[in-house]
Amino acid sequence: MSAPGQSTQPSSLAIVAAFAAIYLIWGSTYIAILFAIKDIPPFLMAGGRFITAGLLLFIYARLRGEKAPDLQSVGKISAAGILMLFMGTGSVAWVEQYISSGIASIIVATVPLWFVLLDRSQWSFYFSNRWIMTGLLVGFAGVIVLVADRKLLDFSGNSMKVISMIVLTGGSIAWSVGSLYSKYKPVAATAGMKAAIQMAAAGTCSLIASLIIGEHNHFSVHNVSTNAWLALGYLITFGSLIGYMSYVWLLNIKPPSLVGTYAYVNPVVAVFLGWLLIGETITWQQVIALAIILSGVILVNLSREKKVPVAEPVEKKQVAVTE
């Protein structure tokens, strides 16, 4: 895949590879987060993940000769990063203390619907495109069938599970708002530099939140298992550097509703890995639901891309529209 913001005519192979990254890799991060937070508190883990990935990406961007944006641009970029990564992805890490990775991925599967509801500039296109609307409805129907599985949704009177679902729903909305804000409010910066700043901002907020709630009081680096370190390393390299950069790049060239279909595929991956790695059971109802979800994604991908006249990336001026 070509570097984000470097080509105005990306190849079909690059696009397929990017979608594979956010479909498959991000689906696996739900399990990776579960392993990581067993020994590392969620906000501390998220802070370490995002700051490390952001620093590595910033160094890489500078070595390639990419210029750091001005302070005003840094503020706008950071705002999008806080919405998407701190409030969005960070909420996933927090709620997985109380709900399964499968349930978390299912709630995040509402993201494509939030994109459609919040992206007012595209309403005429979305609601007039039969493939997009049919695909989104089919995908959402699959989520409903999946949620209806009593074995997957057993709260047993635990109020924290209900609170977690509410928090994660808010996080999903924040992710959608941040993505749309970044897409339609471009700043003078390359895609790589923007992603680096977004991750650094989200990581900083995560560490502040960690200090405020006192996560350091019950954490010892000596008690972190090898599996937790490996999970954190996977989240940094695959989840943030590869997965997030793929997302950034795709949002630059594809409609948000299409890119957002990753949220429909992630539950398929998360539930399968939950069965494979931690022994969670898979019922026929779940299999049918996941097949419906995939059908919805295929329908959305059959839609024709609309040429949106909003701040197209201009590489010569180092302006890239991301997320």
The residue ranges of every structural domain in the chain are 12-304+312-317
Q: Would you list the DSSP string of 182-195?
A: HHHS--SS-HHHHH
Query: Mean pLDDT, to the nearest integer, of 203-221?
Result: 95
CA angle 317, 322, 323 (to 5 degrees): 170
SS3 (DSSP) at 319: strand
In the chain, which ranges are continuous DSSP H helix?
12-20, 26-36, 42-63, 71-81, 90-95, 101-108, 111-118, 123-126, 130-147, 159-184, 191-212, 226-234, 245-253, 256-259, 262-278, 284-301
Per-residue confidence at 130, pLDDT binned at 50, 70, 90?
confident
pLDDT number for residue 199: 96
Of 30-44, 92-106, 220-234, 267-281, where does mean pLDDT reach its minimum? Answer: 267-281
| Average pLDDT of the chain to the nearest whole number | 83
pLDDT number for residue 187: 84
pLDDT above 50 for 303: yes
Query: Mean pLDDT, to the nearest integer, of 299-316?
Result: 51
Half-sphere exposure of residue 183, counting CA atoms within 13 Å on the CB side?
28
In the block, tokens 């808010």 appear at 170
Question: Is-above-0.85 flag for pTM?
Answer: no
62-121 pLDDT, tens digit each: 999 999 999 999 999 999 999 999 999 999 999 999 988 877 887 887 787 788 888 888
Gap between the Cα atoms of 51 and 91, Å rounded = 17
Q: Which pair of structure tokens corresponds to residue 46?
A: 């998220």
Q: How many C-beta atoms surround the C-beta of residue 20 within 10 A?
A: 13
The DSSP code for 314 is B
Contact in structure between 253 and 10 (CB atoms under 8 Å):
yes
Q: How many C-beta atoms surround the C-beta of residue 307 within 10 A?
A: 6
Residue 256, amino acid: P
